[in-house]
A and B are shown apart, each in its own frame.
Chain A
């Protein structure tokens, strides 16, 4: 099946700092989503972004489908941004989502 790799695996930031999370995938995809899992386990949809760039407040995401990667930008980070960020892809050859291993983000005050 498709491989989905995220980097870095762990990230510690000072409040107010910016960061970039990366998701690489090994095959063509129809669909790509970014999720934030809060410390209580709840997964929240951040972006549906199979290609192009989207912005939502302090978060933005870019997917370059031809080069098989996606980036999630977090600006002016806050302690509430802490948690695990997952990307998930739906390959063109399949019909289900494959999740990456996640980036665990800790924002310290």
Chain B
């Protein structure tokens, strides 16, 4: 699906670097999400934004810092990451933040490798 785009698609960074992941949705949705997918593990929800306000933070370390300037854009700022942070980072959006009729649409993901 092309409604949610993510850049970059691949990122290699050192532990002292600072980088940002970008997500953009073209679906007119009001909620956006960051998920982490590590090998052999279920997707882990990191952050949820509803109408630009953060509504969920699932005990994510402070080296991950989200930013949602508007309902269409979501960033994940990365600094001083650890090798175990290497994973696929997926962005998703939905009409509203959960509920009986909400459906999430995912971007293609950013494959992050921390050296």
Residues of B within 8 A of A101 (CB): 41-42
Contact with A along B74-115 (1 / 0, CB 8 A): 000000000000001010100001111111111011010000
Q: Is the CB of B88 within 8 A of A41?
A: yes
Contact with B along A25-69 (1 / 0, CB 8 A): 000001101010000111111001010000000000000000000
Residues of A within 8 A of B53 (CB): none
A sample of 12 more A-B contacts (CB under 8 A), given A45-B105, A48-B101, A90-B100, is A31-B102, A33-B103, A33-B104, A41-B88, A41-B90, A42-B1, A44-B1, A44-B106, A45-B103, A96-B98, A97-B98, A99-B42
Q: Which 6 A-B pairs have the closest CB atoms?
A: A43-B106, A95-B98, A99-B43, A30-B100, A99-B42, A41-B109
Give Cα A68–Cα B58 distance, bound, in whole angstroms.
Answer: 25
Q: Is the CB of A45 within 8 A of B1?
A: yes
CB proximity to A under 8 Å, residues B13-72:
37, 41-43, 45, 48, 55-56
Q: Is the CB of B98 within 8 A of A90?
A: yes
Residue A30 contacts which of B45, B99, B105 (CB distance < 8 angstroms)?
B99
Interface size on B, residues (CB 8 A): 25
Given contacts A90-B99, A95-B98, contact A42 B109 (CB under 8 A): yes
B residues neighboring A (CB under 8 Å): 1, 37, 41-43, 45, 48, 55-56, 88, 90, 92, 97-106, 108-109, 111
Q: Is the CB of B100 within 8 A of A50?
A: yes
* Tally of A-B Cβ pairs under 8 angstroms: 66
Q: Is the CB of B56 within 8 A of A96?
A: yes
Q: Does A4 belong to the interface (CB within 8 Å)?
A: yes
Give Cα A48–Cα B101 distance, bound, in whole angstroms.
Answer: 8
Q: Is the CB of B104 within 8 A of A45?
A: yes
Q: Is the CB of A90 within 8 A of B56?
A: no
Given contacts A30-B99, A41-B109, A90-B98, contact A97 B42 (CB under 8 A): no
